Copies of this chain bind each other. A is one copy, B any other.
């Protein structure tokens, strides 16, 4: 498939050729939202074209979320992808297909799936070590459990928003170590976290764990994710039950979900796990993903995190989530946690990039420790494609709006 190219102009080399074909949900004019597939700068609405050929896929693509399509399972995902590839590379079908193409400028992209449960992990050793050094300078940077299990927690599914959604600076309780009591007000330490998100298509049965080998049977695709964080709120609230309001105000995901099948060429070996994990977490070679992320702040790239440096693999996150019998549902979202590499220029949060606010970061003509009102954050990601090119994963864009002056009547 990697050598095939679309008959559509502009798709070749765009990162959105037929070797990619990410899925989203869009609306055009007054039409109801439905499933779309990105090709170059165009969105294909496949539902009507599928009618008669693949009625199950047609029905799923008429929905206002990817959930019905995701629930159909891997054979259906493959059938749709093969059909899309044929339709978009067979020049003789161009006349038939063209009316189903909408230019990106003419559509509004929606949250692509209904989020069931959202779990966020902490799978980068570099991130966990940096955070440990910043927050607990006198202790061991990694806690004792960190290399034995992928540490994770549940986030708020109801506040996951699509790329392009503004984020209002949240209020909360903050208390510095020398403050006599907490105060209430807008966060002073608003941060971004560059992550990947794995989107579950096929659920599982309560009581039946999912094995590490079964990732591709359950995970439909990948989004890029910004886990906005209010560090001062988080620092005060998080003992002993973990982050809550410091994270729950908003989590942004890309409008496009890259199918796992499009990432065949992106698998790479993990950096190495020592000690060897317990049997239910053991994976073979090529369990990691060689993706390159980019953090842009007000038009300036401030970091280039590399996903290949992640300690825990996607399959390990999935297996761990279910090993106690917890079921998966269509729409479950598993965040990787902040992607940080070993070099300072590959850190995926401002907490790390500014070393807890101690070392301001140069951004264009100015400096930043944490996010300021009006700042726009864009996360980008790319992956190797089969033919030597690259796929452009969906960007995540969001602007910080000032706090609401009086949040309560």
Chain A interface residues (CB < 8 Å from chain B): 116-117, 119, 122, 143-145, 148-149, 151-159, 161, 168, 170-173, 175, 181-184, 206-209, 211, 230, 233, 236-246, 248-250, 275, 278-280, 320-321, 323-329, 332, 404, 407-409
Contact = CB atoms under 8 A, between A and B. Distances in A.
Grouping DSSP codes into helix (H, G, I), strand (E, B) and loop, the A interface class, with mixed when no group exceeds half, is loop
Most-contacted residue by chain B among A171, A245, A278, A280 (CB, 10 A): A245
Given A154-B154, A209-B407, A209-B408, A148 B168 contact: no
6 contacts: A151-B240, A161-B206, A172-B323, A242-B243, A250-B325, A325-B404
Contacts of A244: 119, 151-154
A117 B206 contact: no
A145 B323 contact: no
A175 B249 CA distance: 34
A241 B158 contact: no
Given A153-B153, A156-B117, A157-B157, A245 B324 contact: yes
A162 to B, nearest CB: 12
Nearest to A173: B149
A284 to B, nearest CB: 15
A173 B328 CA distance: 20
A324 B206 contact: no
Contacts of A154: 153-156, 244, 248
Complex copy number for this chain = 2
A183 B149 CA distance: 11
Nearest to A182: B148
Nearest to A152: B244
A407 B236 contact: no
A294 to B, nearest CB: 26
A209 B329 CA distance: 29
Given A154-B244, A206-B249, A207-B404, 19 more contacts: A117-B158, A145-B236, A148-B181, A152-B244, A153-B153, A153-B244, A154-B154, A156-B326, A159-B206, A168-B325, A171-B209, A181-B275, A183-B278, A184-B279, A211-B409, A242-B242, A246-B324, A248-B321, A280-B407
Given A158-B327, A242-B242, A206 B145 contact: no
B280 A184 contact: yes
A387 to B, nearest CB: 36
Contacts of A249: 206, 324-326
A230 B143 contact: no
Contacts of A161: 206
Nearest to A211: B408
Contacts of A151: 237, 240-241, 244
Contacts of A170: 324-325
B323 A157 contact: no
Contacts of A230: 324
Contacts of A404: 207-208, 325
A251 to B, nearest CB: 10
Contacts of A153: 153-154, 241-244
A227 to B, nearest CB: 12
A143 B240 contact: yes
Q: Please indicate which of the listed interface residues A157, A168, A248, A324 has the most CB atoms of chain B within 10 Å of its own CB.
A: A324
A157 B116 contact: yes
Contact of A320 (B144, B245, B278, B326): B245
Given A149-B237, A184-B279, A158 B242 contact: no
A171 B170 CA distance: 38
Given A173-B149, A275-B181, A278-B182, A324 B241 contact: no
Contact of A116 (B158, B236, B237, B326): B158
